[in-house]
Structure 1
């Protein structure tokens, strides 16, 4: 009975269906495998390209940062060297001014003791500086109330002693026209000292301006 039923089955149709399904599965599998491999290959290539671009960008960025750092370090070294040179130049100028100041003071007596007229005759110098003259002189330097006996120690400019304030209500009205006791030597020495200080200030200002110009370049 079972054998007869088995013999009656449509074996050809079944085999054909099996073959068709096997063929379709094979085609599907081949397409899937090929697509997967192709997609994996394309993905790996794209990833490799992106990785290469990123590595190139990172290397270029590092080179730019290193170049900027080297430029900054060079600029800093140049500024430090310029500062040291400016300091050395200033100290040299100070030393020169001190030397010139000393030489000028050593020649004060040579130009304040005697004078020669048109006939070549030598005469002693008799120059009187009134107390009013000295007061005006000191006032121009900022020492309107300079004492008679001393200047202001520690100030940047030097006052000429000898022209203080009036000593009292009984002082004569012409007191400022009296001899202050200040000589030509005193005035010239004072001018030399104050000129030295002015030249020092000028040197400092010029040095600061040069340093600022160097920083702005």
Structure 2
């Protein structure tokens, strides 16, 4: 039965047996030394690669954390700017509506002066204004033009509903409505504040969206 020669790290031990005893010892020592050096070199290389990988991973984590912090800071700044702009817009809108209200108050004080007396010609004395009559039909049409629901109905009067209006010349058309010139002027002031306030709100919203 043939026995295969024993090998150490790829070195045939049968070859070593053929060497003189002194050389055998030296050769074996060299083989073991080379094997040990290879193992140490492998260990150093593995640890170096592992350390390099850990360093790159930590660097990547740091970069991601810095980017996340920068994004969060930018978002916070942007939100603060939006809140500031909204607050400024709201303050400006309130100031505008307050100005409209003050203008209306001043106009209300003038209503008696422009609805009770008039001068027929330059240099003439002021006399009471003749009574101005506004019929029920006039008041209905005035409200319909503004989209105000007709009395007793839940919807505004439209042209398509003209057939249901009272016939011309009837009491429902020609009776006095009780509305005076002062009433109409006061209504115009209320409507003006409402319309101008809505326009101011719309413009403020558009300006805010453009800034954002």
Q: TM-score range by the shorter chain?
A: 0.7 to 0.9
1:125 aligns with 2:129: yes
1:74 to 68, 77, 85: 77
Query: Are residues 15 and 209 of structure 1, via their aligned partners in 2, closer, same or farther at CA, if it must alter by over 3 Å?
Result: closer
Work out the CA distance in 2 between the residues paired with 1:115 and 1:15.
145
State how far apart, in whole Å, the 2-side matches of 1:119 and 1:178 are.
Answer: 35
Q: Does 1:197 align with 2:194?
A: yes
Q: Does 1:47 align with 2:50?
A: yes
CA offset at residue 63 of structure 1?
Answer: 0.7
**Residue aligning to 2:209:** 212
Deviation at 1:15, TM superposition (A): 9.3
**Structure 1 position 113, deviation (Å):** 2.5
Match of 2:27 in 1: 24
Unaligned runs of 5+ in 2: 1-16, 155-164
Deviations 1:130-170 (A, max 9, x none): 222111111122234237xxxx9xxxxxxxxxxxx97xx9x
Supply the distance in 1 between the matched residues of 2:35 and 2:195 (Cα, whole angstroms): 95
Q: For 2:149 and 2:66, how far apart are their aligned partners in 1? A: 66
Residues 77-119 of structure 1 show CA distances to partners (whole Å, capped at 9, x for unaligned) of 1222222222222222222221111111111122222333553
Going from structure 1 to structure 2, the CA distance change for 1:144 and 1:52 (only over 3 Å counts) comes to closer
The range that moved more, 104-113 or 125-134, is 125-134
TM-score, length of structure 2 as denominator length: 0.73
1 CA distance for matches of 2:123 and 2:25? 142
Count of residue correspondences: 183
User: Partner of 1:179: helix, strand, or coil?
Assistant: coil
Could you say which residue in structure 1 is the equivalent of 2:102? 99
- 2:177 is paired with a residue whose SS is strand
What 5-or-longer segments of structure 1 have no aligned partner?
1-13, 153-164
RMSD of the alignment, in Å? 2.8
- Please list the CA deviations of residues 148-205 of structure 1 after superposition, one character each: whole Å capped at 9, or x if unmatched: xxxx9xxxxxxxxxxxx97xx9xx7255234322211110101111111111212222
Which string of whole-angstrom CA distances, capped at 9 and with x for unpartnered residues, describes residues 64-88 of structure 1?
1000011111111122222222222
